[in-house]
């Protein structure tokens, strides 16, 4: 396990946005005003970075942002402004603030090369920590794609370009999986998952591009599976993480799923699980999720590429099925000119 939950801001986000914030201050100086549109872990990481760099920070959050996260962001010394009902509206407010401030620098939550480069450093560390052993597979959660992009770029730099990546999302927040299936970027009509920090309606274009050159299996799990994994992880390791992180963890707690996805793995295989963390969680919230879901083992979906085919598996822990849904997949992604509702 790569324990990114132990980062100072509580998640892997500080690697990427921290890198971008540091570059911004180095370029613009002490008057830099960092502005980010995120009511989640990216916003908290920017707030932390700004405090360490001793510069002004404004985090623009949507109305859906919890008071719990607002207080965490403010505790880092950042100003919090509410703009719009959803993230895309808050993002417009953030960009407007930057446009009207000569010292303003926009820090996106996930979609920038500096962020991907920062996130890729976890693979540099991982290569050293594994002492010459090449992973047989890596598992990580996917929201907007910043983490996945960093992992793939890091693997390519490390010479791990053949190491398969299992990219896990929850149903209702699976914009990457939908995009791979469609062969083009897909915009979800709305986010319906409890894993709100995975809630990017549209994954970064770079994510789809990288999935064409690196072995990636997009995988969707239920909210019930993700929240159950959070409970199990808390019991096993005394770490409290978000359902966005639980989405990946549930793969480890459902070994039959992993065997079904990567049948070449065995008991002696080396599988790396990136514990991305997340600060938007409390014990009370976890109890609510437990009350919300009375059944476990809800259906999960996996989309994997095999030659020129896209394969869709609908599977539970015990009854895997495989259906070919397309045989005309092309290696070059077509980016949609306008959002596609799903």
Q: Residue 118's domain spans which residues?
A: 113-312
Q: What share of the chain is helix, strand, coil (3-state, %, to 5)?
A: 40, 20, 40
In order, the DSSP letters of 131-151 are: TTPPPSEEEEE-SSSHHHHHH
Classify residue 37: in a domain, yes or no: yes
Does residue 125 share a domain with residue 48? no
Q: Is 16 exposed, middle or buried (0-12, 13-18, 19+ CB in 10 A)?
A: buried
What pTM was computed for the model?
A: 0.84
**What CATH number did the domain enclosing 54 receive?**
3.40.50.1100
Residues of the chain with pLDDT under 70: 294-342
Which among 85, 106, 127 is the end of a domain? Answer: 106
- Model pLDDT for residues 135-185, shown as the tens digit of each residue: 999 999 998 899 999 999 999 999 999 999 999 999 888 889 989 888 899
Rounded-to-integer distance, Cα 218 and Cα 164, Å: 11
Strand partners, 216: 165
- Model pLDDT for residues 202-223, shown as the tens digit of each residue: 889 999 999 999 999 999 888 8
Could you give the count of Cα atoms lying within 13 Å of 228 in the half-sphere of its Cβ? 17
Other CB atoms within a 10 A radius of the CB of residue 280 amount to: 23
CB 49 within 8 Å of CB 18: yes
Does residue 124 share a domain with residue 99? no
Classify residue 31: in a domain, yes or no: yes
Does residue 150 share a domain with residue 132? yes
pLDDT (0 to 100) of residue 307: 38
Does residue 86 share a domain with residue 41? yes
pLDDT (0 to 100) of residue 294: 63
Does residue 102 share a domain with residue 117? no
pLDDT (0 to 100) of residue 188: 85
pLDDT (0 to 100) of residue 119: 96
Classify residue 72: in a domain, yes or no: yes
Does residue 273 share a domain with residue 149? yes
Classify residue 319: in a domain, yes or no: no
Classify residue 331: in a domain, yes or no: no
Does residue 123 share a domain with residue 93? no
Does residue 301 share a domain with residue 209? yes
Classify residue 296: in a domain, yes or no: yes
pLDDT (0 to 100) of residue 325: 28
**What is the Cα 184 distance to its own chain's centre?**
19
Classify residue 242: in a domain, yes or no: yes
């Amino acid at each position: 396990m790569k324990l990114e939950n132990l980062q100072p801001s509580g998640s892997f986000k500080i690697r990427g946005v921290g890198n971008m914030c540091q570059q911004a201050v180095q370029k613009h100086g002490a008057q830099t005003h960092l502005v980010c549109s995120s009511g989640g872990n990216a916003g908290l990481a920017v707030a932390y970075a700004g405090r360490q760099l001793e510069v002004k920070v404004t985090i623009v959050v949507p109305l859906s942002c919890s008071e719990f996260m607002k207080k965490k962001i403010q505790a880092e010394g950042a100003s919090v402004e509410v703009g719009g009902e959803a993230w895309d509206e808050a993002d417009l407010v953030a960009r407007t603030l930057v446009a009207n401030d000569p010292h303003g620098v926009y820090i996106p939550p996930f979609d920038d090369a500096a962020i991907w480069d920062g996130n890729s450093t976890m693979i540099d560390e991982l290569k050293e920590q594994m002492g010459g052993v090449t992973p047989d597979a890596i598992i990580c959660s996917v929201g907007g794609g910043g983490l996945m992009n960093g992992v793939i770029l890091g693997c390519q730099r490390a010479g791990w370009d053949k190491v398969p990546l299992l990219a896990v999302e929850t149903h209702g927040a699976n914009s990457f999986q939908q995009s791979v299936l469609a062969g083009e970027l897909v915009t979800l009509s709305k986010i319906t998952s409890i894993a709100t920090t995975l809630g990017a309606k549209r994954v970064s274009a770079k994510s789809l591009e990288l999935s064409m050159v690196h072995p990636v299996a997009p995988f969707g799990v239920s909210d019930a599976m993700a929240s159950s994994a959070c409970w199990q992880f808390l019991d096993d390791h005394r770490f409290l993480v978000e359902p966005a992180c639980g989405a990946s963890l549930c793969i480890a707690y459902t070994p039959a799923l992993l065997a079904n996805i990567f049948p070449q793995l065995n008991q002696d295989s080396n599988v790396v699980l990136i514990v991305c963390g997340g600060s938007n969680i409390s014990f009370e919230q976890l109890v609510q999720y437990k009350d919300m879901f009375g059944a476990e083992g809800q259906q999960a979906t996996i989309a994997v590429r095999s030659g020129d085919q896209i394969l869709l598996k609908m599977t539970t822990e015990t009854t895997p099925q495989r259906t070919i849904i397309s045989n005309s997949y092309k290696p070059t992604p077509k980016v949609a000119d306008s959002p596609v509702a799903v």
